[in-house]
Amino acid sequence: MKQKLSIVKIGGYLIEEEARLSKILDLFSKIEGNKILVHGGGKKATEIGNKLGIETKMSNGRRITDIQSLDVAVMVYSGLVSKNIVAQLQAIGINALGMSGADGNTIQAYKRPVKDVDFGLVGDVKEVNAYGIFQLLQVGFTPVFCALTHDGKGQLLNTNADTIAAEVAIGLSQDFDTTLYYCFEKKGVLQDIEDEDSVITHIDSKNYDVLLAKGIIADGMLPKMHNCFYALRNNVAKVCIGDDSMLSENNSNFTTLTL
């Protein structure tokens, strides 16, 4: 029987607000068994970039990464945000290890090809070094991945944290019974975007198509759901979407996705 593995992705206000970050890291620390944390940091990168006079450029909600923007991303994601999270986890008894995809050659990517938009130094994941991550888990480390990968030729690449979480979950699903948690501001996928309590507690591939057709799943939720079903189709056992309370043992008001 496979060991259990929980992969938790956090971002947005869960990172920005100190009290909420402290709460979710405490809940994360109480998850039994093997676990991995994946975090973003885009809001903080935008804030620091503005202070440095570096403009944030976006296209259809996605960040365009030039050389200066990548410098900010490296400083913020793998520096400020990562080390703050690692230090807090160490304080509550979790032997965390802050990592980018370049560390241990754990996540290699390639620069996104130019189609309608040139996203610059943005990476799409090519390969996950599942054995290397497996070894870290086996000796008791808890990897904490930021939203950076590398191309194997010395170039760091800005990479979507939701995608990193899905790719790492897929890579490790051969060795583990893996559950992927996407933690964000909402309680889950909502039937009515205006009603915070209208959580759809279960979505499979059939009613996903219905929700798409009705426009209930739209806009910013679309890429997140794409990552969810991509993971499920590639042997990840279960994917969950909700706010930080999703990690509490006594909470069932979040969205679980299955095929």
Which domains can be identified in the chain, with CATH numbers?
Answer: 3-257 (3.40.1160.10)
**What pLDDT is recorded for position 36?**
98
Q: Compute how many other C-beta atoms are within 10 angstroms of the C-beta atom of residue 84.
A: 18
Residue numbers of the chain with a pLDDT score lower than 70:
none
Q: Residues comprising the binding site for substrate?
A: 41-42, 63, 158
**What pLDDT is recorded for position 13?**
83
CA trace torsion 237, 176, 134, 161 (10° rounding): 10
**What pLDDT is recorded for position 88?**
98
| Calpha distance 220→161 (Å, rounded) | 14
Q: Residues comprising the binding site?
A: 41-42, 63, 158
**What pLDDT is recorded for position 40?**
93
| Residue 10, beta-bridge partner list | 39
**What pLDDT is recorded for position 224?**
87
Helix axes 161-172, 130-138, angle to 10 degrees: 80
**What pLDDT is recorded for position 12?**
84
| Calpha distance 244→21 (Å, rounded) | 9
Please indicate, yes or no, whether the overall pTM of this predicted structure exceeds 0.75. yes
| Calpha distance 166→219 (Å, rounded) | 19
Q: Where are the beta strands (DSSP E) in 92-198?
A: 96-99, 107-111, 123-128, 142-145, 148-150, 156-158, 176-183
